[in-house]
Amino acid sequence: DGGITQSPKYLFRKEGQNVTLSCEQNLNHDAMYWYRQDPGQGLRLIYYSQIVNDFQKGDIAEGYSVSREKKESFPLTVTSAQKNPTAFYLCASSSPPNYGYTFGSGTRLTVV
Amino acid sequence: AQSVTQLGSHVSVSEGALVLLRCNYSSSVPPYLFWYVQYPNQGLQLLLKYTSAATLVKGINGFEAEFKKSETSFHLTKPSAHMSDAAEYFCAVSDRGWTGNQFYFGTGTSLTVIP
C-alpha cells in the first residue's frame, strides 16, 4: 500500500546535538512538507518542497534544515540552533491540491 | 492569504449526542476544504473533503460536513457520538491554484465524548 513512512517514532536528543528525522513516501507525490505540532498550537509549517532539489522555508524554519535529493525522500534535520525542539513532527505529501495531504504517523522528539 | 478559524478549542458531548465542530474560512473564491482527525501520537487522517461537487459531503466514520458559501463555513457534524470519536479535529483549506504550499490548517478542536 502507498503511504508515508516516518522514522523513528520516538527520538531523544541531547543538548547541542543535531538529529535527522526521516520521511519517505511511495505515493509519487510531487510536494512534501514538514510540520511541527505543539500542544494547543495546531500545525506550523517548517519547510516544504514542490520538486526535487528545491525547497522553501515555512513559518518556523529557523534551527531546521532539509534536503530533497529524491522525489520519495524529504529528511528534516533539527540542528543545535533550534532552542526548543521538543515537539511532535509530522511529514506530509500532496499532489494536486484537491487531493489534500497524506500524513505520516509522526516522530516525537524529546530533548534530554 | 487564506485563514481558517475553528471555534472552540475543546468540545465535550455525551455519547449518542450530536457532534458539531465549527470551521470558517476566509476567501473570496471558494477553496477546497478538508477535515482531518488525529488520534493521540498519530498522524492526521482525512475525514472528508469538499472540492466543488455536492455541498454536503459525507466522510468516514459517519461524519459529514456542509459547505455554505454565504457563511464561509464548513462545519463538521455527526448525528450520534461514539466513544471512539474522541480525538483532535482539524479543518484545512486549500487554494484552487496549484502553488505547492497553499494548505492552511485551523488550530484544532479537541473532542471529548462523555459516557
E strand intervals along chain A: 4-7, 10-13, 19-25, 31-37, 43-51, 54-57, 64-66, 76-78, 87-94, 102-103, 107-111
Q: Tell me: pLDDT of B27 over 80.
A: no
**Lowest-pLDDT choice from A104-108, B31-35, B58-62, B82-86:** B31-35
CB contact under 8 A, A97 and B108: no
Give the model's confidence band at A1: pLDDT under 50 very low, under 70 low, under 90 confident, else very high: low
Residue A16, min C-alpha distance to chain B (Å): 26
The pLDDT of residue A49 is 92
Q: What is the pLDDT of residues B39-89, one digit of tens each?
A: 988 999 999 998 877 889 999 999 999 999 899 999 999 999 999 999 999
Task: Please check whether residue A100 touches B, CB under 8 A.
Answer: yes
Q: B83: helix, coil or strand?
A: helix
Query: What is chain B's alpha carbon radius of gyration, rounded to the nearest angstrom?
Result: 14
Among chain B residues, the shortest Cα distance to A9 is held by: B41
Q: Tell me: pLDDT of A8 over 80.
A: yes
CB contact under 8 A, A98 and B41: no
Q: Tell me: pLDDT of A20 over 60.
A: yes
CB contact under 8 A, A45 and B95: no
Residue B28, all three cell numbers: 473570496
Q: Which amino acid is at A36?
A: R
Residue that wins the pLDDT comparison between A96 and B58: B58
Task: Please check whether residue B34 touches A, CB under 8 A.
Answer: yes
CB within 8 Å of A58: residues ≥ 6 apart: A33, A34, A44, A45, A46, A47, A48, B101
DSSP one-letter string for B55-76 = SEEE-GGG-EEEEETTTTEEEE
| Parallel/antiparallel/unpaired status of strands B10-14 and B109-114 | parallel
Task: Please check whether residue A53 touches B, CB under 8 A.
Answer: no
Distance of CA B114 to the CA centre of its chain: 21
With a pLDDT cut of 90, the percent of chain B lying above it is 69
- Short-list A73, A68, A90, A72, CA closest to A28: A72
Task: Please check whether residue A54 touches B, CB under 8 A.
Answer: no
Q: Tell me: pLDDT of A97 over 60.
A: no
The pLDDT of residue B37 is 97
The pLDDT of residue A100 is 80
Which of A103, A108, A109, A110 would best serve as a mutation to test chain B binding (most B beta carbons within 10 A)? A103
CB contact under 8 A, A48 and B95: no
The pLDDT of residue B3 is 84
Smallest Cβ–Cβ distance between B43 and the set A30, A58, A105 belongs to A105
